[in-house]
Amino acid sequence: EVFLVESGGGLVQPGESLRLSCTASGITSGDDAMSWVRLAPGRGLEWVGFIRNRASGGTTDYAASVKGRFTISRDDSRNMVYLQMNSLKSDDTAVYYCSRCRGSTCFYVSWGQGTLVTVSS
Amino acid sequence: DIQITQSPSTLSASVGDTVTITCRASQAITTSLAWYQQKLGEAPKLLMSRPSILESGVPSRFSGTGSGTEFSLTISSLQPDDFATYYCQQYHFFSTFGQGTKVEIK
């Protein structure tokens, strides 16, 4: 069974940075694309971005709302995925989920429990 | 970007009812659509993809249809465990979620 565990959430002020981590267990590193999805208060799920699997070059793409501010990376040797968030805004307040795609096709077969990021002064 | 319009936003129903949720894509996405169930305080759970292939362990009362721009999720004989929020997601080009449908007890 696959387990994803996010960490690194917390309270930050607008303009600050935060890095979220996702630890994966029970999978073969590098085989699956990985995504970050968020759930903001009173809103629905929003795709943040993803990093392709090793076979697809490990490249990244992002939602327009975070492009240029957020960066996703992965360390397959440690089964880790990261979300570096810079220039945070109040609109970025949300529960952030790490999710696993099925191979290179990004519907999400596994999810972490989520980590809360609150951006407030 | 591909937009997804999901309706209704809220649906009131009773145990035993059959309910249908629809998603419309702003452009054709072939069959690249998935459905998720999310309960309060929990992570989303994948129900089905493409859009009628049930994940292992998902009850057969859940069914999905559609292709191109029009899709639907039907829950037959609603059970107490089914009251939750449901989302569709297109994965044809990057990813977009619908706005969600809260299925609540009438």
Query: How do residues A44-93 score in pLDDT, each as one tens digit?
Result: 999 999 999 888 899 999 999 999 999 999 999 999 999 999 999 999 99
Rounded distance between C-alpha atoms, residue A73 and residue B45, angstroms: 24
User: Within A1-121, where are the H helices?
Assistant: none
Predicted pLDDT of residue A29: 67
Q: What is the dihedral of CA B45, B101, A41, A72, to 10 degrees?
A: 50
Lookup result for tokens 């970007």: B1
pLDDT of B68-81, one tens digit each? 999 999 999 999 99
Report the mean per-residue pLDDT for chain A.
Answer: 94
Interface residues of chain B, partner chain A, Cβ below 8 Å: 1, 34, 36, 38, 43-46, 49, 55, 87, 89, 91, 94-100
Q: Are B67 and B52 in contact (CB under 8 A)?
A: no
A54 secondary structure, DSSP code: G
Lookup result for tokens 């990004």: A106
The answer to whether the Cβ–Cβ distance between B91 and A107 falls below 8 Å is yes
Residue B5 has pLDDT above 70, yes or no: yes
pLDDT of B48-68, one tens digit each? 999 999 999 999 999 999 999
Written as six digits, the tokens of A19 are: 């890095």
Lookup result for tokens 């107490």: B80
